[in-house]
Structure formats: structure tokens, C-alpha cells
Structure 1
Amino acid sequence: MPARKDPDASTSVPSFYGAELRFKRESAGLTLEQLAEGSFRGISFLSQIERGERRMPVDLARHVDERLGTDGFFQRRHEDVARARQVGIAEYFADVAEMEQRALSIEEWAPTLVPGLLQNEAYAAVVTQAAMPRASEEEVTEKVVARMKRARVFTEPAPPKFWVTMDESVLRRRVLPPAGMADLLMHIAGRVRSTRSILQLVPETSGSHPLMMGMLKIMTFADAPPVVYTESLHSGQVIDYPALVMDYRESYDLLRAAALAPGASLAMIEAAAEDYSNEAHKDDRPECGPLA
């Protein structure tokens, strides 16, 4: 059995909170299963909180305080942890952003938007403003900066293996002007190549497939069970129930079977980038007047 990996409490507020939870639980002589009993939460959920990967809901904080006799400590501090994780990141995505940093692999299905880990600043700004039309320039900038920081996971000594499947329509949707679209697509191709990731496109001619109704992210870890994340416009859900994770896993595998090969997919992205670039140059040419 591999040695237990203790959380580094110095890395963040959630990690400190999780390390304190583990310390109090072990001091009370309780296993994760014993602490979870009666909380309506799973063992893996508690374990992820102890590693600083998940946010403590107030009902669970109340349960923990009662079981461990911690005089309301975890209830008082759970909002501090939530605030520490929300700088530029939606509350419902905070857990996922933490888990990305620890994942062994990240597999993603993107039917309508470029995945966050592949976005550039210009694209991130436009889609953020579209989702939050009343947001100030400062709020949009904060979210764009946070999204760009997520890509730092690829510069870690042991980055996650990244495999993304995108619908071809994402390339055709003109979120940016032609020059901006060309830059975006070359950015995607460059990141995929530099990180040795895998990208596949599902062609618009593919017809029906198992994941027509929304985005999907599957993450695996060295010391925790795999999780699935699904998202809609203003909410997201982390799923760790093993049977349901297996169902999503099968659907994602069937989706990849309907996609183009990685080499052909990158070639299509680069060809689309060239088309946008040619269009931008054509638009920039001055119009010639009639010959005398």
C-alpha cells in the first residue's frame, strides 16, 4: 500500500482547513467512514475536503463540529475557505479548479465552447462578458486572469494528461473577428502540441452521439476515486458516485469513437486558422478605385 500523502497546510486556506479537519478527526480516533456516518455525505467527499480539494458545505461543517466537539470551529471558518477560493472563479467551479491542479488526467467534452484550459485571453473575455452582460470591466478582467492561471497546471513537474474532444462547430462559431479567431485556433493547436495533449474533433456530419446534451469533464487522481463534472450556464455539479461515473465514462468513450483522429483534428484546426487569417488579410486590404 502506498504511503499516505498528507496535505500541505501551507499551500492555501482550503489546505489548512482540510489539514485541521484530518488532525481533529484522527485525534478523536475516527475513520472517514465513522465521521461521515449520519452526514448524508460520502467518504470520498470528506477525503477531498481533507486534501483541500473540496469546499465544506455548512450542513457538513455543523455535523463535523458536533461529532468532533470542535465548538463550532468548522462552521465559523467554512465561509472563509469559500471566499479564499472565489477570486475570479465561480463558486460552483471552485472545487473543480482545485482538483485540476491535482489530477492525473483530465478528459473533457466541449460541445459549444473552447475548454477553459485551451482559451486565450481575448476569447475568455468575450465569453465571460456574454455570460455576465452586467459585469464591470474589472470583474471580467478578474475572471479572465483566473482562467489563464488555470493553464499553469501544464507547467507543473507532473502535469495531468489532457484529452479534449470538441465539436467542430466550436471552430466555426465566430466569437471573435477573423484575426482573433485565427489567433485562438493557433493558440489551441500550439498548446495541444506543446503539452503533448490529445485533441479530437467531432465533425458536424457525425449525426447523433451519447453526449449531445452538454459538456463533461472526467478527472482521475493518484489517491482518490475519479470524478465527473457537468455544467450549465450558472451552475455545475461534481459527481463521484462510482456507478454514475462509469456511465459517463462509457458515454465519453463512445463519443471519442465518433470523433476524428487526433492528427486529422489538429490539421482541421490549423486549416480553419489559415482560412480566418486569409479572411482577415483580405478585409485589411484597401479598396482600389476605378482605373482612369
Structure 2
Amino acid sequence: MANGSRQAAWEFFGTELKRRREEAGFTQAELGSRVFVSGGYIGQFEQAIRKPQLDVAQRIDGLLQTDGFFERLWRKLIDDHRYAEYFAAVVELERQAISITEFAPLVVPGLLQTPAYARAITRATNPFVSAEYVEDKVNARMERSRILADATRPKYWAVLHESVLRTTVGETVTMAEQLDRIVALAREWAVMVQVLPFSVGACPLPTGTLKLMEFEDAPPTAYTEAVFSGNLLDDPALVKRAQGAYDLIRAAALSPEASLTLIESVAEDRRRCASTT
């Protein structure tokens, strides 16, 4: 679904929510308190500024007695077979974010991946799937990354653990080209990248990825990911803790310029290895 038609569909979701809420005689605050979100959130859902999580859509159906209408619509808009169920909502939020910051401890973040790297990582984690499945996943990842090329692109700041640079994904030349891509984006001021070196020792966030997203008219959100699972957090206290962890990581990382120098050095090492094999 194209971004324009998707947004129109979310506006329909909001219009229907408002109509059915008013028919049931609830204010935004009253509905919010009964489905465990604020009245302000209900207003943002109705204006298509923010998208509800699945459990909220289900509770709205139960309270307004809409026979699963909002859950079905949510699944149609959010669910995308190209993404894991726990990640589909994150993709939608990335499109709305004005700022995205993330920490990657093991692999290059999806928004920075080249097609070859995305293909290699998909094949490594799904060794028995068809070529069509792999290409579907790669195309979806490239579609996501287009937000960094848009005129209204979000501010994007990533901290990569040094292991991301040192771990070979795919062919040696694939890694060199991937690292070149990161440097090129940073040199073009499209993104900000830092490296958390091995010399730092223990990491303030020892396991899993962390993504923080800020929005123009909605509260910030944090997303954490582990093995085959992810958590989308919008509780202010949890988001604040996640931001604190990210700030510690960013403070311990190399400066942006020193980070690019390291990435370029590792890329050159990769190219030399590729030329001698």
C-alpha cells in the first residue's frame, strides 16, 4: 500500500473511531480511561497522528461493541507479511518520526543496509526459504530506507557497536560495500553515525537493539528487540529510561569523525582481503 493511500486509510480509521465514540456517548477522555490510554491519545488516533497498538484497538472494539471492526482494520493497515508481526507497527512509526536514534549491537540497522547486506543477513537467518522470499524481504527493507532520502526525512543518529563492523555478513566485498555506504550517508550529512569501540568494555545496554522515535504531535516511543521478539514502549517512564541508556552509549562512543575514520579503515581492510582471495 502506498504511503498516500495508507495515510488516507488511517484517516478513515480515525473518522470511524470518532463517529462510533460519539454514538456511544463517550468523550475522548472517557474512552481513553476505559481502554487504558489518555484522552489525548484518542484524539491523536482520531486525527491519524498516532496509530494505536493492537491491544488498544481490541479494547476499543470491546467497549464500543464494534464486532472486531477496529482490530480487522488495524491488521489490514499494520500487518505486512514482509515484516515480523512484532515489527510491522515500528515500520509505520518510522514513516511518521521526525527523529530516529538507535543502537545496534550486532548487525547494521535496516535503514542503513545495502541490498547485498540485507540479502546476506536474510539468507543467514532463513537458510531454507525460497529466493522469492529473500527478495521480498530485501525489497521491503529498501523501501523502509527510502525515508532517509525524502525531503522530509527524519533526523537519524545511530551508534554501532564495533562488532557490527568486524562481523562478516555475506562476502568480504559485501561488508566493504556496506561500510562504504554508511560512510557515504554520513559524509552527505544524511545521517549521524558513531561507533562504540571494544575498548569501552561493558555496554550500558548489554543485549538487544534499541530504537527511539520522536514525533511532531505525539509522545516519543522506544522499541527494543531480542530473539524473535520486540517490545514497543510508549510508557513515559520506560521511554525515559531507554533514552538514558542510549545517552550513556552515545557518550561512551567515539566522536562522529573518529567513528567514520574507523569505519573507513575496516572497509579498506575488507577490500584488501577481498583482493587477495
2:89 alignment counterpart: 95
Query: Residue 202 of structure 2: SS of its match in structure 1?
Result: coil
TM-score (norm 1): 0.84
Q: CA deviation at 1:213?
A: 1.6
C-alpha distance 131-12 of structure 1, shift in aligned 2 (>3 A):
farther
C-alpha distance 37-150 of structure 1, shift in aligned 2 (>3 A):
same
Q: Is the 8 A contact 1:55 1:95 kept in 2?
A: no
2:33 alignment counterpart: 37
2:234 alignment counterpart: 240
- 5 Å-filtered alignment, 1:196-207, equals 196-207=190-201
1:287 alignment counterpart: none
Matched residues, percent identical? 42
C-alpha distance 200-238 of structure 1, shift in aligned 2 (>3 A):
same
The structure with more radius of gyration: 1
Amino acid of the residue matched to residue 94 of structure 1?
Answer: A
C-alpha distance 183-34 of structure 1, shift in aligned 2 (>3 A):
same
Q: Is the 8 A contact 1:105 1:221 kept in 2?
A: yes
Q: CA deviation at 1:239?
A: 0.5
2:77 aligned with 1:81: yes
2:253 alignment counterpart: 259
Q: CA deviation at 1:60?
A: 3.8
Higher helix proportion, which one?
2
1:225 alignment counterpart: 219
Residues in 1 aligned to 2:86 and 2:9: alpha-carbon distance in whole angstroms = 17
2:51 alignment counterpart: 54
1:161 alignment counterpart: 155
Query: Residue 169 of structure 2: SS of its match in structure 1?
Result: coil
Query: Residue 158 of structure 2: SS of its match in structure 1?
Result: strand
Residues in 2 aligned to 1:39 and 1:222: alpha-carbon distance in whole angstroms = 24
Residues in 1 aligned to 2:251 and 2:53: alpha-carbon distance in whole angstroms = 38
1:286 alignment counterpart: none
Residues in 2 aligned to 1:17 and 1:149: alpha-carbon distance in whole angstroms = 24
Where in structure 1 are there 5+ consecutive unaligned residues?
A: 1-7, 284-292
Amino acid of the residue matched to residue 123 of structure 1?
Answer: Y
C-alpha distance 259-55 of structure 1, shift in aligned 2 (>3 A):
same
2:182 alignment counterpart: 188
Q: Name the stretch that deviates more: 273-282 or 260-269.
A: 273-282
Where in structure 2 are there 5+ consecutive unaligned residues?
A: none
Residues in 2 aligned to 1:192 and 1:22: alpha-carbon distance in whole angstroms = 43
Q: Is the 8 A contact 2:6 2:77 kept in 1?
A: no
* Residues 66-125 of structure 1: per-residue CA shift (max 9 Å, x gap): 54454653245444334xx40412221111111111111100000001000000111111
Q: Is the 8 A contact 1:55 1:81 kept in 2?
A: no
C-alpha distance 56-171 of structure 1, shift in aligned 2 (>3 A):
closer
Q: How many residues align?
A: 273
2:129 alignment counterpart: 135
* Residues 23-45 of structure 1: per-residue CA shift (max 9 Å, x gap): 43356564433112232455576
